[in-house]
Every structure is written in structure tokens, then in C-alpha cells.
Amino acid sequence: MKQTVYILTVILLSSLTANAQRPQPKDTEVWTPVPKVVAPPASAVSAPADAIVLFGGKNLDEWVSVKDQSPARWTVADNIFTVKKGTGNIQTKRLFTNYQLHIEWRIPSDINGEGQGRGNSGLFLASTGGGDDGYELQILDSYKNATYSNGQAGSIYKQFIPLVNASRKPGEWQSYDVVWTAPQFNDDGSLKSAARLTAFHNGILVQNNIALTGETVYIGPPSYKKHGPSPIKLQDHGDPSPAISFRNIWVREL
């Protein structure tokens, strides 16, 4: 009897040892770090609890003129703001590196012109200097408006064609949701890692984790120059068509 108990004990211990050596579900369970709790927005257009609201409908206190860093002079009314042509580009007072951004924009219903002269503006994900320096996600009326593909709405201007044209009619509000990863540079100014972008236009994926080839330029190939945290910029393009409007802008630093 004792021998039988001994044998059974050996078998049980051998079984436990074998099971301990086999892969277990818990082997791939990671319990720390625990993600921070962030309350989701009440609706798809509301800012998350940890967002920085860049425009909530009341004022442009988070923005300045690119020309001279004076208060932004675009027009605020009825919970939106509109490009005031001739006053120049505006940019955020705050500097950012990597972030998630939500912005809504509207081409006026009485838009005129054609091609690049029809509701042209731009969202610069990192403004690296005055004027139009930086990395531009194009804003344009691309609803039944022919232009070059890498210059239409949803394009990284002169670099990447959008996966689809998700434009709404003029007069209707549109949105961009962007995940931006800033470029990194070595001490000598050479590029360490390229800027990357994922963008949704009206909830539809138009840029899928692309690696930018440099800053936006109008003529010639893009290139990089060393910079650090940068403001977000909106463009006063200056075309003759009626001015476009913006609302509900927020950013989450990543």
C-alpha cells in the first residue's frame, strides 16, 4: 500500500512539474503599468477629460498672430471663428511634440473659385517658423473640385495623396482627427526619426501612419531642418473665395 501511495505521489508531482513548465495564459498577462483613467467625451465632438481646449467657442486666447505674436485677429462669433483675410496665419501659444488633435472646419456655402483657389487653408501640425513653414495637412473644398491629388483636402501637401476623398458639401461641417508624432533629430541636426501622421477626415482614414519626407514646401522636394516642440498653425491663405470657419479644437499630449 505504501508503495502505491509513493508511486501516486511521484506521478502527481511529475504532473505538476510538467504543467508548471508548459506555457500558461498568465505568462502573457501584463498587469502594470495600469492605464490612466480618462473619462470619454459625452459625444463624439466633445473634448476628452484630459484634453487642452484650443477653441471652445468663446475666444482665441490660446492663439497668436504668427507675424508678431500679437493676439490673433480672426473673427469670433456664434461659437465659431473665421479667417479674417489679410491678418495672416495664427498659431497656438503652447508648444507641442506628440499629440492627438481634433478640429472642425467649414467651407462657406457661397464658396466660389476653382482648384486651389476654392476655400484654401491649411493645418500645420508643427509650425517651425514664420509664414508657411512646417508640415501641412491641406484644408480645401474638394467636393467636386478638381485639383492635383497631393493638394486636395486630406493630403499632406505636395507629399501624400489621401487614401480617399471624404469631403462634404460646402456649408457642412467637416472634421480632422490626427495623431501626430514629431520628428526627432541628432545633435548634429541630422534626422534621427521622421515625423509620422495618421489622419481621419470626417471619421474616414485618409493617412495611415505615414512617414513624412520633410516640411511642406510649395516648390521643390521637402526636407527637414532641426526643431523642437512647436506650435500648431492655421493658414490665412489669401485666395479670393469667401473665408472658412473653425470650431471645437482640442489636443491631447501623448
Residue type, 242: P
**167 domain-assigned:** yes
**63 domain-assigned:** yes
Confidence (pLDDT) at 8: 47
- Give yes or no for a cis peptide into 40 (omega within 30° of 0): no
Residue type, 251: V
Tell me the per-residue pLDDT of 129-188, one tens digit each, with 9 for 90 and over.
888 899 999 999 999 998 999 999 999 999 999 999 999 999 999 999 999 999 999 999
Higher per-residue pLDDT: 4 or 237: 237
Give residue 61's domain range: 35-253
Q: Which three cell numbers stand for residue 138?
A: 491641406
Confidence (pLDDT) at 237: 87
Confidence (pLDDT) at 130: 81
- Sequence-separated (6 or more) residues with CB below 8 Å from residue 71: 60, 63, 64, 65
Give the phi and the psi of residue 184 in degrees, each rounded to 5.
-120, 145
- pLDDT over 50 at 24, yes or no: yes
Tell me the per-residue pLDDT of 27-82, one tens digit each, with 9 for 90 and over.
876 777 877 766 666 766 789 999 999 999 999 999 999 999 999 999 999 999 99
Confidence (pLDDT) at 239: 73
**20 domain-assigned:** no
Q: Which three cell numbers stand for residue 191?
A: 534626422
Torsion (CA) 226, 230, 234, 239 in degrees, nearest 10: -20
Rounded CA Rg of the chain: 25
Nearest to 96 by CA among 199, 205, 179: 179
pTM of the model: 0.86
- pLDDT over 60 at 13, yes or no: no
Is 160 within 8 Å of 169 (Cβ atoms)?
Answer: no
**55 domain-assigned:** yes
Q: Residue 253 — pLDDT band, cuts 50, 70, 90?
A: very high
**21 domain-assigned:** no
**28 domain-assigned:** no
Number of domains, the chain: 1
* CATH number of 116's domain: 2.60.120.560
